[in-house]
Structure 1
Amino acid sequence: MDMIKKVKLGSKGFMVPAQGLGCMGMTTLAGADVYGKADEKDAIKTIHRALELGISLLDTADLYGPILNERLLAKAISGNRNAYQIATKFGYEIDDNEQLTWAINGKPDYVRKSIERSLKNLNTDHIDLYYLHRVDPATPIEDTVGAMADLVKEGKISYIGLSEASAATIRKAHAVHEITAVQSEYSLFEREPEVNGVMDTLAELGIGFVAYSPLGRGFITGEIKSPDDFAADDFRRQIPRYQGENFYKNMELLEQIQQMAAQKNITPSQLALAWVLSKGAIAIPGTKRIKYIEENAAATNLTLSAEEQIALESIIPAGIAAGNRYDEYSMNGVNI
């Protein structure tokens, strides 16, 4: 398998693989499994195999665990830190007992507290890409990004990112310090960044776009046949898109994607990833197994014709997917 090509993220010369690795599912979240049971040894082997394939961008967050995910990555990259680009996020408030309060905190003093904690947990002296995980509506974005800019000056972070920010917020933030990347959920089933002005704004300002959950939280793999297939504590049980009637409506759309993938002799996941990459995004599909990192990596060698892109987008036009991508509480925290 060919090594994954490197591309520029943002306009400052930050070179990353065209596909990264989302690490959230490698640990629990607030004591519950996110996407089924995780095994630390398998996860570490997957991270090492990713690097062999050229997937050096690892995406984590202090939220995941909380804390546990960053510590897992520290183990995985021990002795080989400089071979990887580490992206982590802060903003979901974690107290001094390492417990989530579930508040969003973008205050400058919390920015400082968070970076020191993440540096310690990742066992590193710098983080390549540091994201604000969610915008704090109670703190001006200029204050949060100003504090992050101080971390750049100090060499503790190299580049600044935002996650799930609105076009207006991105502009305000970028005026304070150059934003290198914005991360949002983006897939064949979630195309909101195309219609809410985010992707247009990023293109105008020269900011990179990172697509998380490019496989629809695993739905596009086709391995989940029914809402009952999710484990009792699986995060996806809380998502309206994968509940009841919505699940089956979306399955009808997926069947058309599966047919198109079969015609190309590739998996639905590979087709979906090739589509995301064709839109100019960096995809960060999450997995904790070597089998899937290899399958996902192969998608970077695929090219979709204009006709194939149009056909895919006609199957799932923006906004057609049934059900929201988060519960009501979490939907209030996106596009701020």
Structure 2
Amino acid sequence: MPADTAMSTSTTTPMPRRQIGDGGSHGLAAVDLPALGLGCMGMSDFYGPADRNESIATIHAALDQGMVLLDTGDFYGSGHNEMLIREALSGRRREDVFIAVKFGGMRSPDGGFVGIDTRPAAVKNALAQTLKRLGTDYVDLYQPARLDPAVPIEDTVGAVKEMIDAGYVRHLGLSEVGASTLERASTVHPVRWLQIEYSVLSRGIESEILPAARRLGIGISAYGVLSRGLLGSDWRQRADALDPHDFRAHLPRFSGDNLTRNLALAEVLSVVAGEKAATPAQIAIAWVLAQGPDIVPLIGARSRTRLAEALGALDIHLDSGDLARIRDAIPAEAVAGTRYDAGQMRMLDSERRLPMD
């Protein structure tokens, strides 16, 4: 059966759990989380218009399947995403949901980004706004979206620690930081997870960052597991029809020859998918799940159809031969183009080892 039509759109497998962030030498109990989380960003921003009713229905479907980790950011839609989640959670018990929030990204009225602010006072102010928008008195995990070059990470983490001690935050996370920053942050307070892009096309964390995280007892919250759609089965049909507000139109991996080369690399997923009666997207998710029990992939589904497809990845087993075959067919150095444009790449502490033009 062709990979584009072979489809396991739901799972009969109960949602598996993963133990994330034992704190290493801090000796903390790990946090018990579902193996997949729902990334809610696309319901408010970056990928063009989203259907509000379908977004809420997708959140409900995820929760009903045991996918209780909801990932958001206070700057997603300049607060829209948090308010959407509040609406979706109306009538549900707060303790049945794990809400992770990123902060620090500053937006202008026209939607542009105007910098990062993670000063201690800004941390507390942002959290106050988030609690109001979410309609809750605590968030489960709070994390700066990027490293602020003007603020020592110890100061930012110290402010989050104060909010943890006060009961407004349960756990600390970090996003897109390098190994040395993880080390420094961990001297102030245990870091539960590092949120960072990780997929078969984005494997930059494997050399330094992932080993450091594991040494420190820090879990991985992996976003971009489908490389923003490059690894999805229908990308070829829609690559030329991106909404003008879809930020992928400005990403190097989606432009010109880079796109052609990357789609060719990803073809191995279609082959494996055909053999497993699955879709390429399901294989891509299963690949990330297979990289370790301390990794939770975030699924950026904006519809129940996409969510059901993603959940089907839980029924797929990739053996050592499958994993080696995929790695051999997609050498990390063969991927064409950087993850973001040059300006945004400079903001990534996780990429600081790479030369920048």
TM-score between both structures, scaled by the size of structure 2: 0.89
- Bigger shift: 168-177 or 259-268? 259-268
Aligned counterpart, 1:24? 41
Aligned counterpart, 1:65? 77
- 1:150 pairs, out of 150, 157, 162, with 162
Aligned counterpart, 2:103? 90
Aligned alpha-carbon RMSD (Å): 1.5
- 1:141 pairs, out of 146, 153, 175, with 153
Aligned counterpart, 1:37? 49
Give matches, 1:116-195, under 5 Å. Answer: 116-195=128-207
Q: What stretches of structure 1 of length at least 5 have no aligned partner? A: 29-33
Aligned counterpart, 1:13? 30
Cα pair 1:192 1:319 within 8 Å, conserved? no
Does the C-alpha gap of structure 1 residues 154 and 99 become closer, same or farther in structure 2, counting only changes over 3 Å? farther
Query: How much has 1:142 moved relative to structure 2?
Result: 0.3
Q: What stretches of structure 2 of length at least 5 have no aligned partner? A: 1-11, 23-28, 353-357
Aligned counterpart, 2:62? 50
Secondary structure (helix, strand or coil) at the match of 2:266 reads helix
Aligned counterpart, 2:214? 203
Output the CA distance in 2 between the equivalents of 1:63 and 1:241.
24
Aligned counterpart, 2:115? 103
Given residue 331 of structure 1, which amino acid in structure 2 is its aligned partner? M
Given residue 17 of structure 2, which amino acid in structure 1 is its aligned partner? K
Does the C-alpha gap of structure 1 residues 101 and 292 become closer, same or farther in structure 2, counting only changes over 3 Å? closer
Given residue 332 of structure 1, which amino acid in structure 2 is its aligned partner? R
Output the CA distance in 2 between the equivalents of 1:2 and 1:47.
19
Secondary structure (helix, strand or coil) at the match of 1:184 reads strand
Matched, 1:295 2:312: no
Aligned counterpart, 1:330? 344
Query: How much has 1:100 moved relative to structure 2?
Result: 6.0
Given residue 305 of structure 1, which amino acid in structure 2 is its aligned partner? D
Query: How much has 1:131 moved relative to structure 2?
Result: 1.1
**Count of paired positions:** 329
Query: How much has 1:256 moved relative to structure 2?
Result: 2.0
Secondary structure (helix, strand or coil) at the match of 1:60 reads strand
- 1:237 pairs, out of 231, 236, 249, with 249
Matched, 1:317 2:327: no
Matched, 1:252 2:269: no
Matched, 1:307 2:324: no
Deviations, residues 98-119 of structure 1 (Å, cap 9, x unaligned) = 9765211110000001110111
Identity of aligned residues (%): 37
Cα pair 2:276 2:316 within 8 Å, conserved? no
Deviations, residues 187-239 of structure 1 (Å, cap 9, x unaligned) = 011000012x1100011011000110101101111322164221222110010
Query: How much has 1:296 moved relative to structure 2?
Result: 0.6
Cα pair 2:194 2:221 within 8 Å, conserved? yes
Output the CA distance in 2 between the equivalents of 1:172 and 1:139.
13
Query: How much has 1:263 moved relative to structure 2?
Result: 1.2
Secondary structure (helix, strand or coil) at the match of 2:142 reads strand
Cα pair 1:2 1:53 within 8 Å, conserved? no
Query: How much has 1:83 moved relative to structure 2?
Result: 1.6
Matched, 1:113 2:125: yes
Query: How much has 1:270 moved relative to structure 2?
Result: 0.8
Cα pair 2:124 2:159 within 8 Å, conserved? yes
Cα pair 1:66 1:98 within 8 Å, conserved? no
Query: How much has 1:319 moved relative to structure 2?
Result: 2.6
Secondary structure (helix, strand or coil) at the match of 2:227 reads coil
Output the CA distance in 1 between the equivalents of 2:30 and 2:110.
35
Output the CA distance in 2 between the equivalents of 1:51 and 1:180.
22
Secondary structure (helix, strand or coil) at the match of 1:220 reads coil
Does the C-alpha gap of structure 1 residues 101 and 219 become closer, same or farther in structure 2, counting only changes over 3 Å? closer
Output the CA distance in 2 between the equivalents of 1:21 and 1:265.
24
Output the CA distance in 2 between the equivalents of 1:98 and 1:108.
26
Cα pair 1:240 1:324 within 8 Å, conserved? yes
Cα pair 2:233 2:279 within 8 Å, conserved? no
- Bigger shift: 2-11 or 271-280? 2-11
Output the CA distance in 2 between the equivalents of 1:235 and 1:209.
25
Given residue 240 of structure 1, which amino acid in structure 2 is its aligned partner? P
Given residue 30 of structure 2, which amino acid in structure 1 is its aligned partner? G
Output the CA distance in 2 between the equivalents of 1:190 and 1:67.
28
Query: How much has 1:36 moved relative to structure 2?
Result: 3.5
- Bigger shift: 14-23 or 100-109? 100-109
Q: Higher RCO, 1 or 2 (CA under 8 Å, sep at least 6)?
A: 2
Output the CA distance in 1 between the equivalents of 2:240 and 2:169.
42
Output the CA distance in 2 between the equivalents of 1:98 and 1:266.
41
Cα pair 1:227 1:247 within 8 Å, conserved? no
TM-score between both structures, scaled by the size of structure 1: 0.95
Cα pair 1:224 1:230 within 8 Å, conserved? no
